Structure 1
Amino acid sequence: MRLFHTSDWHLGQTLHGQERDFEHACFLDWLLSQLNLRQPDALLIAGDIFDTVNPPVKAQERLYDFIVQAHEQQPKLTIVMIAGNHDSGSRIELPAALMRRLRTHAIGRVQWLDDGVLDSERLLIPLTNSKGKTCAWCLALPFLRPAEVTGAALGDDYLRGIAQVHERLIAAAVERRNAGQALIAVSHAHLAGGSVSEDSERSLIIGNAEALPASLFSKDIDYVALGHLHKPQRVNREERIRYSGSPIPLSFSEIDYKHQILEVEFDGANLASIEPRLVPRAVHLQRLGPAPLTEVLEQLAELPVVDLLEDPQRQPWLEVRVRLDEPQPDLRLQIEAALNGKAVRLVRIAAEYAGRAAADGDDASALVELGQLTPHELFGRAWEQAYGSAVDEQTLADFAQLLQDVQQEEEQP
């Protein structure tokens, strides 16, 4: 059987305030064409479907229009999508009954039965080929929040709770499958050994732990389709454990990523091949600098001018980084004047100030925007400024737990 693995669509995302619906529409059109061309038996979407727990209506329409079109084009296609840490699990599951009529399974959270047994039935999804034969079982593992894996029956150890979910679900899958059927996990998590994007991935820290061990996925699992990290990669050089990465660059730090989906083939239960399919970039991201202002203005002057025959929606997003010796009150005016008539769209100006630290080779002199800091980094800086010492581990753990509680409350419809 053949499947597509993709993740981290982040529908509804904005880039420094600029809407990106056009780019997502181009990706989904391309994905539909690939489904038609390659005719996979299943499409796995490994979380962060949306960029926020309360996505704009247009983003939700994009998702559901895509699902309807995919089903009309390929009625036997099975779609499995799970919630990521950016998603609301309840929102992802809200239309689940309706989507099942379109062979789409939406899993937003794990649930436990009254006797403390994992409800593995709803997390195990049969994957069939074009002849209707069950060739594999998909283990759907949405982003696991503390409230779902801790409590009176499970204990208060979040990491142990995560391990229990994996152990019990894998055991149920092993018991369920027949000879020759593959076990395929789809999960949204940060596994140890994964390479993180600089400024577009929300931290998953719980207490002192961030990255989970890849050993959660025993050798019984033939393929692990991961979401959360935006860079396509293997985990610990294991061929069977993969991040597909995001389909579009979600920040300027991802300019050089090879955005892709993965086409995965099985021969019975054996992983036969994994082939990347590169996603065409509808809109390029472009960075200038860091350089002194005079050099930056010269580089801006060399940019191509607007071609009235080209689609303005395809003009690159531009980030300009300037090194300054002193504040320039009219910095934006100078840059915008230099960009007049140029075929780019300015979305960000970042200024770095030269000083003692910079002369010593310390990057601490660079101005840091709030959006570039994780909540944990911001809390640590505020603590150190208030108390004159680094935040201790227990306080950081307490803050992380509070942050998770707040994010969970935000999800409530």
Structure 2
Amino acid sequence: MKILHTADWHLGKQLHKYSLEEDHRLFLDWLALTIQERLIDVLLISGDVFDTTNPSNQALAQYYGFLKKLIGSGCQVVVTGGNHDSPGVLNAPRELLKFLDIKVVGNALESIEDELLHLTTPRGEIVVAAVPYLREADLRKSVSGEGYENRLAALRQGIRGHYEQLADLKSSQFSDLPSIAMGHLFVNGASTSESERDIHVVGGEAAFSAEFFPSGFDYIALGHIHKPQRISNSDFIRYSGSPIPLSFSERDDRKYVLELTIDNTKITSVEALPVPAYRELRCFTGSLDEVEAGLKAYVFTNPLPSYVEVHVTEPFADPHKEMYFNELLREFSNVPFQIIKPRLSFTNRTKGADELFITGTSIQDLTPRDVFNQRLLSENLDEETRLLLQEAFEELWRDVSEAQ
């Protein structure tokens, strides 16, 4: 029996206002073909199918178009919700999709037993604990006046208890079958990228440890982190990573889906299947002369035009340099690749809030945390006050994010 583990598609994602729709189309075509060619029995999608809670019609069409391609393939599908997904959007067609061997768990279910799925395929049986992104409201009620750290500790314990309940249910009902637990959370030790910089606090899972997962599961299929990786050096606790680069910090990451082979109720191998690279994300850094030379010599070979980041650094502020930089951008506006993140900075410029508004920087490149921290730097605050304000911000930001 063969299981395929993927996550973090983020359909509808834009990279600095530039579409990744073609990147996703090519990936989904490849994935559907791979499932057919490799005779995959079960596909697991561990959260963040969409990039926003209100996905566009194009993103929805890509999702349902992919599921349609699997009809008749013999591959069953389990989809769990991520923190970017709307449970309502994912769950809306759930009852209909059941008839197509597609199980959807958009949010924690009222009866936890319903998250434990017994799948029967022509080549064997498997139990899947379909755990979605667990929000605080799914696990516990806040206590008035409770401190931030106490809330985090209680949330971590709630997540741990959720998995332990499912492991106990699996042990009592399906003790002889192989089992996989899905999850969408941050596990201690995971390496993150720029596109995930908020997750250490938002959701509260920053200190969740791999040791908290109960021993009753043969494999933990994780989502939430875009860089594919093992956790605690285990082949059986894995992030599949995102299938395409979603930020420039992921430009050098090799992208995969993970294929599990089960033989005689045991997982005998976990193989990383490389996803073809459809578009290059390229960065050019240095002086104006160095960047100009790099751009003129650049040739891309991928099917889709490259998205290019340009960061020019000069020692002294000079309006002529700024004019030449803007002329350079205009010169390369009609080439077969697209400069989507240009930036010019001067090393002698006073550091502080002004750095948020250097030439080429867009507010789209900044998070609310970036702006808030720069605002704190502009004030003459003692360390204790600054830490209290940061803690209050993180708590408010978390509440707002969970309410989306």
Same fold (TM over 0.5): yes
1:167 corresponds to which of 160, 164, 169: 164
**C-alpha distance in 2, partners of 1:97/1:208?**
31
- Residues 377-396 of structure 1 aligned to structure 2 (within 5 Å): 377-390=370-383, 395-396=389-390
2:287 corresponds to which of 292, 296, 312: 292
Instruction: Tell me the equivalent position of 1:88.
Output: 86
Higher mean alpha-carbon deviation, 85-94 vs 334-343, is at 334-343
Instruction: State whether residues 120 and 172 of structure 1, in contact with CA within 8 Å, keep that contact through their aligned partners in structure 2.
Output: no
Change (3 A) 1:397 1:176: farther
Higher mean alpha-carbon deviation, 50-59 vs 163-172, is at 163-172
Instruction: State whether residues 109 and 115 of structure 2, in contact with CA within 8 Å, keep that contact through their aligned partners in structure 1.
Output: no
- Residues 9-88 of structure 1 aligned to structure 2 (within 5 Å): 9-72=9-72, 74=73, 76-88=74-86
1:217 corresponds to which of 210, 213, 228: 213
SS at match of 2:194: coil
SS at match of 1:287: strand
Q: Please report how far the alpha carbon of residue 257 of structure 1 lies from its aligned counterpart in structure 2 after TM superposition.
A: 0.6
1:401 corresponds to which of 386, 395, 399: 395
SS at match of 1:321: strand
Matched, 1:334 2:327: yes
Q: Please report how far the alpha carbon of residue 400 of structure 1 lies from its aligned counterpart in structure 2 after TM superposition.
A: 2.8
**C-alpha distance in 2, partners of 1:174/1:376?**
43
Deviations 1:187-226 (CA, angstroms, capped at 9, x unpaired)? 1111001111134454241597614111221221100111
Matched, 1:158 2:158: no
Matched, 1:129 2:121: yes
Instruction: Tell me the equivalent position of 2:175.
Output: 178
Q: Which amino acid aligns with 1:158?
A: L
Instruction: Tell me the equivalent position of 2:306.
Output: 316
Root-mean-square deviation (Å): 2.8
Change (3 A) 1:211 1:371: farther
Q: Structure 2: any 5+ residue segments left out of the alignment? A: none
Instruction: State whether residues 317 and 348 of structure 2, in contact with CA within 8 Å, keep that contact through their aligned partners in structure 1.
Output: no
SS at match of 1:169: helix
Change (3 A) 1:94 1:352: same
Instruction: Tell me the equivalent position of 1:115.
Output: none
**C-alpha distance in 2, partners of 1:99/1:69?**
13
Change (3 A) 1:81 1:387: farther
Deviations 1:4-48 (CA, angstroms, capped at 9, x unpaired)? 000110000001111111110000000011001001110000111
**C-alpha distance in 2, partners of 1:152/1:314?**
48
Instruction: Tell me the equivalent position of 2:139.
Output: 149
Change (3 A) 1:184 1:208: closer
SS at match of 1:407: helix
Q: Please report how far the alpha carbon of residue 171 of structure 1 lies from its aligned counterpart in structure 2 after TM superposition.
A: 1.3
Q: Please report how far the alpha carbon of residue 372 of structure 1 lies from its aligned counterpart in structure 2 after TM superposition.
A: 4.7
**C-alpha distance in 1, partners of 2:392/2:259?**
41
SS at match of 2:330: helix
Instruction: State whether residues 354 and 365 of structure 1, in contact with CA within 8 Å, keep that contact through their aligned partners in structure 2.
Output: no
**C-alpha distance in 2, partners of 1:400/1:275?**
38
**C-alpha distance in 2, partners of 1:392/1:30?**
49
**C-alpha distance in 1, partners of 2:292/2:369?**
36
Deviations 1:94-118 (CA, angstroms, capped at 9, x unpaired)? 1111111111111111133xxxxxx
**C-alpha distance in 2, partners of 1:206/1:23?**
28
Deviations 1:359-382 (CA, angstroms, capped at 9, x unpaired)? xxxxx9796765455444443333
Instruction: State whether residues 222 and 239 of structure 2, in contact with CA within 8 Å, keep that contact through their aligned partners in structure 1.
Output: yes
Instruction: State whether residues 263 and 276 of structure 1, in contact with CA within 8 Å, keep that contact through their aligned partners in structure 2.
Output: yes
Q: Please report how far the alpha carbon of residue 332 of structure 1 lies from its aligned counterpart in structure 2 after TM superposition.
A: 5.2
SS at match of 1:71: coil
Q: Which amino acid aligns with 1:160?
A: Q
Q: TM-score, normalised by structure 2?
A: 0.88
**C-alpha distance in 1, partners of 2:202/2:305?**
40
Q: Which amino acid aligns with 2:106?
A: G
Q: What is the percentage of aligned positions where both structures have the same residue?
A: 30
Change (3 A) 1:349 1:80: same
Q: Which amino acid aligns with 1:122?
A: D
**C-alpha distance in 1, partners of 2:15/2:80?**
24
Higher mean alpha-carbon deviation, 237-246 vs 160-169, is at 160-169
Q: Which amino acid aligns with 1:27?
A: F
Q: Which amino acid aligns with 2:261?
A: E
Instruction: Tell me the equivalent position of 1:301.
Output: 296
Deviations 1:68-112 (CA, angstroms, capped at 9, x unpaired)? 11123x1x3210111111111222111111111111111111133
**C-alpha distance in 1, partners of 2:112/2:241?**
27
SS at match of 1:4: strand
Deviations 1:162-189 (CA, angstroms, capped at 9, x unpaired)? 222122122112212131x111011111
Instruction: State whether residues 304 and 342 of structure 1, in contact with CA within 8 Å, keep that contact through their aligned partners in structure 2.
Output: no
Instruction: State whether residues 48 and 82 of structure 2, in contact with CA within 8 Å, keep that contact through their aligned partners in structure 1.
Output: yes
**C-alpha distance in 1, partners of 2:203/2:36?**
45
**C-alpha distance in 1, partners of 2:403/2:203?**
19
Instruction: Tell me the equivalent position of 1:361.
Output: none
**C-alpha distance in 2, partners of 1:105/1:63?**
14
SS at match of 2:169: helix
**C-alpha distance in 2, partners of 1:406/1:399?**
10
Q: Which amino acid aligns with 1:280?
A: P
Q: Please report how far the alpha carbon of residue 136 of structure 1 lies from its aligned counterpart in structure 2 after TM superposition.
A: 1.4
SS at match of 1:87: coil
Deviations 1:292-331 (CA, angstroms, capped at 9, x unpaired)? 11221122222349xxxx99x7111111110122154435
